[in-house]
Structure 1
Amino acid sequence: MTVLRQWTVQLVRRDGRRVRSLPLGRARVLLSVAGTIVGLCGLGFLGGFLTASRVESNRILELEAELATLESERERMSQLAGRLNELEQEFGLLQDAVTAGRPAESLPVNVVPRGDMEVRSRTSAETATPAWPLTQRGFVTRHFGSRPDYSRDGHTGLDIAVPTGSYVRAIQAGRVEEAGEDPIYGKFLRIAHADGLTSLYGHNAWLFAAAGDAVERLEVIALTGNTGRSSAPHLHLELARNGALLDPLSLLADLSGRDNTAAPAERQPE
């Protein structure tokens, strides 16, 4: 004889007046338990899924922040590479002009490189006379005192058009008073000579001397350029004695003489 087990759940009101009985068969109990287990498993799966999603979201945010950092570093490296390229070009220009780029026999006539102890013999008169400041042939484009229509002021010096990178020489022995960069003169040098004479060399691309340096007559002190207030590569030479401006052409050695083989072949009209 088979005995079927059955459970009964009685629901009693608080006042005890009414009682409800709910018979529960074995199948119903098993279904309830199975449903509970399935529900718990579903909740566990859902919780795990949400946790994994949150972890992935945090990881995505971390990767985005890392990507932004890498992009910033890449931009900085690009800027550094550009600056390095500029420095390499400037170094190449300096190297070609001063060291291995030119053999000794190809140096411009009358150039006295810094540190070279072999100086051509000259008379005292030749040494005292201010020399032409360039080794490259050029053209005088503006004379001292010339005044364009748009200006009330006369020109303070002599402008000589030459290609960028031409040698600039000290017109006379002296000591560098100023060396730097100016909004008007660009990269410039000012040298103090004997008898209160000073010479200024403006619009250079590179300077080879610094303030306080002693320079010899005809020593290469700079390379010409187009810096400052300038519309084309040229050298601006400005002379003064005791603060009073002078016409450079009135003091420089004879342009056709042996001391100035690189003087301009011709002068352009004002």
Structure 2
Amino acid sequence: MRQRLSSEPDRYRGRRRVPTPPRSRYAAVVTTAFVGAGVVALGAGGLPDAKSVSPSALSELENAAATSEDFAARAADAERATRDERTQLESSLSEAPDAWVLPLKGYNFTSPYGMRWNKLHAGIDLAAPEGTAYRAIHSGTVTKAGWFGGYGYCVIIQHPDGTESVYGHSSNLLVQEGQQVKAGDEIGWVGNTGHSYGPHLHLEVHVNGEPTDPIPWLRTKGVDIQLQVETIYGGVVDS
């Protein structure tokens, strides 16, 4: 390589040389540029031009949105109607003079009517959390509301047909002797008073002054204690 003489003019004096990138870097830069341009072109081609959307398509979208809103409104109306019908049915159920209903809404059937420990268990036991409200199974007059020996705090109702219902082991009583009640009225709270093994409602039904098995007897009235179903005028109400 020939050395430049000091007398020769320096063509590069005053200029700044830009280093030439390596071939690999040059190729990468060029490739990236082409790929980026392609992506931009594809993206631009894939997005619809708002001016090119047909009026009929826009109309269909608007109609679909309106239909969806209409369906939602109808569903909300139907749900409200169902709740209202349920409330009206429960109200008519309790006001009907000949209605018979479940004593509790939600319970575990724990003990049947029959002999237990060589002694007659004259009713059935329905376990529920202490403080759960229980209801009169039929309209009538409260003849007992207070402490009643092994029954603990107890309510006894005399019904128009002469039968009696007995509700034992209450934690609180909501009625007084002589009070008139309707089917479904809350008359006390589930408790653990008297000769009790845990929070539950002890229910008895007396016919002609004698205890009888409440389960088959109430079935004749359209109430199934074991299935927790009560029927009235041919309709079924799940509690």
Range of TM-score over shorter length: 0.5 to 0.7
Relative to 1, partners in 2 of residues 1:130 and 1:123: Cα closer, same or farther, differing over 3 Å? Answer: closer
| SS of the residue 1:165 aligns to | coil
Compared CA separation, residues 121 and 181, structure 1 to 2 (3 A): same
Letter in 2 for 1:209: V
Is it true that 1:143 corresponds to 2:112 in the alignment?
yes
In the TM superposition, 1:59-138 aligns within 5 A as 120-122=91-93, 127-135=97-105, 137-138=106-107
Structure 2's unaligned 5+ residue stretches are 1-85, 232-236
Q: 1:131 to 1:251 in 2, by over 3 A?
A: farther
Q: Deviations over 1:50-106 (max 9, x none)?
A: xxxxxxxxxxxxxxxxxxxxxxxxxxxxxxxxxxxxxxxxxxxxxxxxxxxxxxxxx
The 1:195/1:226 distance shift into structure 2, 3 A limit, reads same
- Write the letter of the residue equivalent to 1:154: L
Q: Which residue of 2 aligns with 1:241?
A: 207
What is the Cα deviation at residue 182 of structure 1?
2.2
Percent sequence identity over matched residues?
A: 35
Q: Is 1:251 matched up with 2:217?
A: yes
Deviations along 1:85-141, one digit per CA (max 9) or x if unpaired, are: xxxxxxxxxxxxxxxxxxxxxxxx88x9xxxxx9723499x7525311002x21111
**2:227 counterpart of 1:261:** no
Q: Distance in 1 between matches of 2:123 and 2:191?
A: 17
TM-score, with length taken from structure 1: 0.48
**Runs of 4 or more consecutive aligned structure 1 residues displaced over 4 Å after TM superposition:** none
Q: Which structure 1 residue ranges, 5 or more long, are not aligned?
A: 1-108, 113-117, 263-270
**TM-score (ref. length: structure 2):** 0.54
Task: Answer yes or no: is the 8 Å Cα contact 1:130–1:251 preserved in 2.
Answer: no
Taking a change above 3 Å as real, the CA distance of residues 140 and 123 of structure 1, as seen in their structure-2 partners, is: closer
Contact in 1 for aligned 2:99/2:183 (Cα 8 Å): no
Which letter maps to 1:131? V
Partners in 1 of 2:143 and 2:137 — Cα distance?
A: 15
Q: CA RMSD in A?
A: 2.8
The equivalent position to 1:203 in structure 2, one of 169, 181, 196, is: 169
Query: Structure 1 residues 122 and 179, CA, compared in 2 at 3 Å: closer, same or farther?
Result: closer
Distance (whole Å) between structure 2 residues aligned to residue 234 and residue 123 of structure 1: 23
Q: What's the CA shift for 1:240?
A: 0.5
Tell me the matched-pair count.
144
* Residue 233 to residue 122, structure 1, CA distance change in 2 (3 Å): closer
Q: SS of 2:216's equivalent?
A: helix
- The answer (yes or no) to whether the contact 1:129–1:251 under 8 Å persists in 2 is no
1:258, distance to aligned residue in structure 2 (A) = 5.4
Q: In 2 relative to 1, CA 120–231 (structure 1 residues): closer, same or farther, beyond 3 Å? A: same
What residue is the counterpart of 2:73 in the other structure? none
Distance 2:198 2:93 in 1: 35
